[in-house]
Structure 1
Amino acid sequence: MTANSTSDAGNARPLRVREFFLARQPILDRSQALVAYELLFRNAAVGPANITNDLSATASVIAHASQLGMEKVIGNVLGYVNVDAAVLMSDIFQFLPREQVVLEIVETMKVTPEILARIEQLVQEGFRFALDDVITDSEDVQKLLPLVEIIKFDLRDMPLSALLKLTPRFRSANKKLLAEKVENQEQFDTCLELGFDYFQGYYFAKPVILSGKKLSPSQLAIMQLMTLITSDADTSEVERAIKNDVSLCFNLLRLVNTPAVGVRRRIDSVNQALLLLGRNQLQRWLQIMLYAEPCKKGQSMTPLLTLAATRGKLLELIAQQYDPHNRSIADTAFTVGIMSLMDTLFSIPMAEILEQVAVVDAVSDALLHRRGDFGDMLRLAEHMERIEEAGQMLDDLVERFRLSSEDLYKLQVSAFEWSDNVARNVH
């Protein structure tokens, strides 16, 4: 999209929620802590080919997300949003909380004197800018450099030789560097060495299988407790097992008293927790505690916890909508979503994890082979995370579960809000 476009976002026909798909992609810092999300939109009305990264017609979508409450979509971190010439020249910015957004200037935008003046004005008003998909230090890039804080490099478009050449120039200009499309640990390590500040991509969710890796004692205790629950053990036996592990007991009671659980009165004992929560809910909080455990050692695993909790909640909500009269399907869907990243969490193959914790065939089919209803729900969640690459498959799965894009948007925002709440309370 260039500044010569005849489209003007200020006058664009308002897009309704039902016409787009939303994704949020985590951005992490050098210590792997979650610092931001990039918000990506795909136009659902015109088919899978149209990824609205240039966003001219999607200005009203941003407004909608802001009116809805940006914090529901991104929690208490920053939100990166693409802006093109039409959006920059529009009045959309009155909707955006300047302290919580970073505006990404799209690489195809022609830099005119009017555009420079507008960006300067927005910077003075307190907005922060990133320059997206930089591949050279061209004249346009040089013009924008004094006005932007962050330079983004897409690793799929950048040979290492170009990165080695460009990164020192931008670092010497005191710009923060962000690597996007980081897909594996090797790419992350390379960018870390080059002095990158931020990293976007799903490298942190990829399992790195370590041979002979064993679960920690506390993880083992939680897994054994989960097995007790799924094997329908006696309540007194479950209670005894929780009380035998002091830190497990303490953390469980702390967790069940957080707002995300939604219990109206304070829970003070394991027995009370079991009575009020029931076994399915207890199982859920134990699964969350598995992801929370590394946080206590000072390793920030919040992105993995947030992603797993989001998947769990989204699958539960999809299942509820798909079959509203069957509560057990929703509980199973949650389990599939949250367990889908346990191979990454433990660095152990999924098949080995499923040997240690008893699950029904439908769950193992979904986790190992992405088969059946739950496998399809999981694939839908995975496609939403990587919305730019999802293609027709996303549309087919949305249709398969009889969802409109508006339904899916509402379910996602609920899942985002819930998982962010959980992540904030486990530390």
Structure 2
Amino acid sequence: MNTIAAEDPRRQAVPGMTGSIEEQVYFARQPLLDRDAMLCGYELKARAAQPGDADLHATAIPIPDRLVGVHPVVRAAIQPAVRAALVGHIGYLDVTREMLFDESFAMLPTERFLLELPPDIAVDNQLIARIVTLHARRYRFVLDGVVQADHTFAQLLPYAEAVKIDFTGIASAMLPKLVAALRSAGKILIASGIDTQADFEAAFKLDFDRFQGYFFARPQASSARRVSAPRHALLNLLHLLGSEPTVAQLETELKLNPVLVMHLMRLANASSFASGRKVTTLRDAINATGTDRIARWTQLLLYADGRKVALENDPLLQLAATRARFMELAIAHLPAAGRDEADAAFLTGVFSFVDAVFGGSLEGTLNVLTLARPIRAAILTRDGVLGTLLSAIEALERGAWAELDALCVQLAPLTVARIAAFALEAAAWAGVADRNAEASGLERFED
């Protein structure tokens, strides 16, 4: 899905951004998972445009009359690019006191967002009355960043549907009692800062409902379960695709793996590659799809969870696809990048955390994949322009704005705003990958 529409790439409009530079807002997107470790939402962390984003003066989208005077965060949140990047999931949106009292707040769809109240928000009778009014309009609230049950927490708790606890910041001795009290009060419990499997298991045992963090993208002791027969088949197919195989060689390899044949036939018939005629043979499917598209499909299938769930709910595949597509979009806007970097950009993103699939060391896994040296260097040591771009998307994923500012000095003419825009476009592409003409064969399979 292409949400950046302009013929001249130097004058592209930025998705989710409107108006003068002083009014522009962009987002970082962070995943929330349920108890089955499947995606159930994204937090949108807003940042106002900075002086370094001055290039946006020339690229800003004119504000439609109906959006004039709308709060900048609200205006950005209701843009089609943001809706597409949420891929049908709930958005968790940080709000301020000022934003809550802005009358344009009513433009924010109640069914698409949960509103996160910061722990330092100033609470008084006026704020409580406003929250009650918004609650009556079906807005839902989350108490964010909870590390203690203080006075602010007690005042806002009756109006909150969920409580997000800073898992790494709260005293461990306090957790069980607080969780039990909130559970008895019927609150949804969210653990934030969950970046390791150990943290996830601890929060899971405490009966948290949702988990925010990147624990699912880290190598785990149990990762070996992912290296089942289909994963090995995909790896063998990738090796063959890297050697410019003939159609006969591909046909022979695929025939050893009926599951892959099934997916390839679906890919060929569900897309425009078949040129209007039904593909009935494996050889026709290979010819209709092409080795480049088969390779991309195979790379993303490495990350697919073995359970039969929708691809838009699979956090690892979504993260891999988003990173890969982001790298591909961003590299095209760096004049210093050559053809080699452009060709390698997607691969750099897609294999940047392949150790989460196979376990073991990242270097060892990359050796097995026999990737080109620039790709390996970008992933292992962040060398070259590919490595810098990879660091940039990682910083954005964490909402590390200062780090991203520093990286953009090396990535001119890219700005933080444009990187955030490319990330939204990439997220939208990843979210519809199973329905996209280029990737409609990304069907779920069982190990």
- Taking structure 2 as the reference length, the TM-score comes to 0.82
**1:39 correspondence with 2:44:** yes
1 or 2, which has the higher helix percentage?
1
Task: Please tell me the residue identity of whatever aligns with 1:203.
Answer: F
CA spacing shift, 1:297–1:69, aligned 2, 3 Å:
closer
Does the 8 A contact of 1:17 with 1:406 survive in 2?
Answer: no
Partner SS state of residue 39, structure 1: strand
Moved more, 110-119 or 348-357: 348-357
Answer whether contact 2:408 2:416 (CA < 8 A) is retained.
no
Structure 2 partner of 1:371: 383
Alpha-carbon distance in 2 for matches of 1:179, 1:199: 5
Task: Describe the SS at the equivalent of 1:225.
Answer: helix
Question: Are 1:28 and 2:33 counterparts?
Answer: yes
More off after superposition, 245-254 vs 217-226: 245-254
Deviation at 1:407, TM superposition (A): 2.6
Could you tell me which residue of structure 2 aligns to residue 416 of structure 1?
427
1:200 corresponds in structure 2 to: 212
Q: After superposition, where does 1:5-404 map in structure 2 within 5 Å? A: 16=21, 20-45=25-50, 59-68=71-80, 70-209=82-221, 215-255=227-267, 265=276, 268=279, 269-296=281-308, 302-323=314-335, 329-387=341-399, 389-397=400-408, 399-404=410-415
Aligned to 1:405: 416
Superimposed CA distance per residue, residues 252-279 of structure 1 (whole angstroms, 9 cap, x where no aligned partner): 33345667x9987576354344334432
- SS of match in other structure, 2:333: helix
Question: Is the 1:336–1:374 contact (alpha carbons within 8 Å) kept by the matching residues of 2?
Answer: yes
Aligned to 1:218, the other structure's residue is in SS state: helix
Aligned equivalent of 2:443: 426
How far apart in 2 are the matches of 1:202 and 1:264? 41
Amino acid at match of 1:24: R
Matched residue type, 1:294: G
- In structure 2, runs of 5+ residues without a counterpart are 1-17, 54-68, 436-441
Supply the AA of the counterpart residue of 2:418.
D
Asked if the contact 1:310–1:416 (Cα under 8 Å) also holds between the matched residues in 2, the reply is: yes
CA 352–236 in structure 1, closer or farther in 2 if over 3 Å, else same? same
Check 1:105–1:212 CA distance in 2 against 1; reply closer, same or farther (3 A cut).
Answer: closer
Number of aligned positions between the proteins = 405
Judge conservation of contact 2:26–2:76 (CA < 8 Å) in 1. no
Calculate percent identity across the aligned residue pairs.
30
Q: Distance in 2 between matches of 1:325 and 1:181?
A: 35
Aligned alpha-carbon RMSD (Å): 3.1
For 1:71 and 1:21, how far apart are their aligned partners in 2? 13
TM-score, normalisation: structure 1? 0.85
Q: Aligned to 1:292, what secondary structure does the other structure show?
A: coil
Asked if 1 retains the 8 angstrom alpha-carbon contact of 2:116 and 2:141, the reply is: yes
Show structure 1 runs of 5+ residues with no match: 1-12, 49-56
Query: How far off its partner does 1:414 sit?
Result: 1.4
- When residues 75 and 262 of structure 1 are mapped into structure 2, their CA distance, relative to the original with a 3 A threshold, is farther
Asked whether the 8 Å contact 2:331–2:337 carries over to 1, the reply is: no
